[in-house]
């Protein structure tokens, strides 16, 4: 580990959640425009977190604070691993650990809505994790290495041309991780639905603020990995990430929520088969 890696790691630690917060802001501005509303300012998510931070609310379980912090550390760690050019697969495992902690915190709470949300969160994990992992395997195969730097350094032809069939899978994962319709199954994006706020029901106040930051960090990781598809330069990567983001926002605004059964029985196998086909195809080349 040299000093350069350290700088990159620190930059990842600080910038990634901020970037995720901006993504949340862009999301709200764009969604408002799509719905012909005024909408909040770009920095509204940061104001929201600040407000949450100032609230002291009785926790629903003694264990929640612990799991929230573990989730936050895991999410930030996955950003750092990626920023420092570490192993993308390990980064993804660390990120999945964060999702597990969020679900565990919900299990520990006392509201049935939270526990129902936790179960759904796990089924979501089951649906997107394999296809996203196969996507990473495809990228590693095409770029010739599992570490972020070798994938990002795959200059010349963007990976997209070799990996068109993993795009649906990546988009599916983005929708799930952004908690967007039709896959906002675990934590319904809008309140007053049948699961209230699902996996988030029992989180409140400062704990919830930290969870929001962890969510931003997650979003950055997922969009960042998607941007590897066109990694010929930083601007191109940013553009690729934004394309995925806008695609997700549009789908969110034109679709209704699916059930976890549809997700697990139809969407997950379909995207997985496509990604697997792409992987096999890479091997046949």
Partner 1 sequence: MIDAYIGLLVLWPVAAGLACLGLRGQAARSALVLGTAAVLAAAAVGLATQAPLTASPAFLSSATALHAAKGASFLFPAYFLFVGLKEKHALVIGFALLQLGLAAFGEFGLPAPALVQTAVVCDGLSLALVLVVSLVGTLISVFALPYMRHHEEHLHLKTSRQPQFFMILLAFLGFMNGLALANDLHVFSAFYEATTLCSFLLLGHDQTAEAKKSGLRALWMNSMGGVFLHAGILLIQKQHGLADIQALVDPALWTGLSLLPIALLAVAACVKAAQLPFQAWLLGAMVAPTPVSALLHSSTMVKVGVFLCLRLAPVLEGTTTGRVLTLAGAFTFLGASALALGQSNAKKILAYSTAANLGLIIACAGIGTPVAIAAGVVLMVVHAATKGLLFLCVGDMEQAIGSRDLEDLRGMIARTPVTALAAAAGSMAMILPPLGMLAGKWATLEAASASPMSMVMMAVGSALAVVCWVRFTGTLMSGVAVAVNPAPTSSLSTGPVLTMLAGVVGLGMAAPWLNAMLLPVGQAIMLPDGWALLPPLFITAMLAWILGMKVLGRQSAAKLATPYLGGLPSAAPGSFVGALGRNWTLSEGNEYATELFGEAKLTKIAGVLASVLLLALVGGALL
* Binding interface with partner 1 (CB under 8 A): 1, 57-70, 73-74, 77, 81, 86-87, 89-90, 93-94, 96-97, 100, 103-104, 106-115, 118-119, 122-123, 125-126, 129-130, 133-134, 137, 140-141, 145-147, 196, 201-202, 204, 261, 264-265, 272, 276, 279-280, 282-283
- Smallest gap from Cβ 5 to partner 1, in A, equals 10
- Smallest gap from Cβ 22 to partner 1, in A, equals 25
How far is 131 from 269, CA to CA, in rounded Å?
Answer: 9
Q: Which residues contact 187 (CB under 8 A, 6 or more apart)?
A: 117, 121, 179, 195, 197, 198, 199, 200
Closest CB to partner 1 among residues 77, 249:
77
Closest CB to partner 1 among residues 199, 248:
199
Closest CB to partner 1 among residues 101, 244:
101
- What are the structure tokens assigned to 218, written together? 């997650």
First to last CA, the chain: 35
- Smallest gap from Cβ 235 to partner 1, in A, equals 27
Closest CB to partner 1 among residues 28, 215:
215
Closest CB to partner 1 among residues 101, 216:
101
Residue listed under structure tokens 């095409």: 142
Three-class SS state of 123: helix
- Smallest gap from Cβ 72 to partner 1, in A, equals 8
Q: Which residues contact 207 (CB under 8 A, 6 or more apart)?
A: 59, 64, 65, 68
Nearest to 75 by CA among 96, 89, 53: 96
């Amino acid at each position: 580990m040299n000093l350069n890696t350290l700088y990159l790691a620190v930059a990842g630690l600080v910038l990634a959640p901020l970037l995720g917060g901006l993504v949340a802001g862009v999301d709200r501005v764009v969604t408002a425009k799509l719905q012909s509303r005024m909408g909040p300012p770009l920095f509204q998510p940061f104001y929201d977190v600040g407000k949450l931070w100032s609230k002291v609310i009785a926790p629903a379980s003694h264990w929640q604070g612990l799991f929230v912090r573990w989730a936050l550390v895991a999410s930030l760690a996955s950003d750092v691993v990626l920023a420092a050019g570490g192993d993308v697969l390990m980064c993804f495992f660390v990120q999945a650990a964060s999702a597990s902690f969020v679900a565990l915190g919900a299990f520990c709470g006392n509201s049935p809505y939270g526990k129902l949300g936790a179960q759904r969160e796990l089924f979501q994990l089951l649906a997107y994790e394999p296809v996203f992992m196969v996507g990473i395997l495809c990228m590693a195969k095409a770029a010739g290495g599992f570490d972020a730097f070798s994938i990002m350094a795959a200059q010349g032809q963007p990976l997209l041309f070799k990996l068109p069939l993993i795009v649906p899978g990546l988009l599916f994962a983005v929708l799930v991780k952004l908690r967007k319709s039709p896959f906002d199954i675990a934590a319904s994006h809008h309140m007053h639905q049948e699961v209230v706020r699902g996996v988030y029901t029992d989180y409140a106040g400062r704990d919830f603020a930290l969870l929001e930051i962890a969510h931003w960090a997650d979003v950055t990781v997922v969009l960042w990995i998607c941007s590897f598809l066109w990694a010929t330069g930083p601007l191109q990567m940013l553009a690729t990430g934004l394309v995925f983001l806008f695609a997700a926002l549009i789908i969110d605004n034109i679709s209704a929520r699916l059930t976890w059964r549809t997700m697990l029985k139809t969407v997950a196998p379909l995207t997985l088969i496509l990604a697997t086909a792409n992987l096999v195809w890479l091997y046949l080349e």
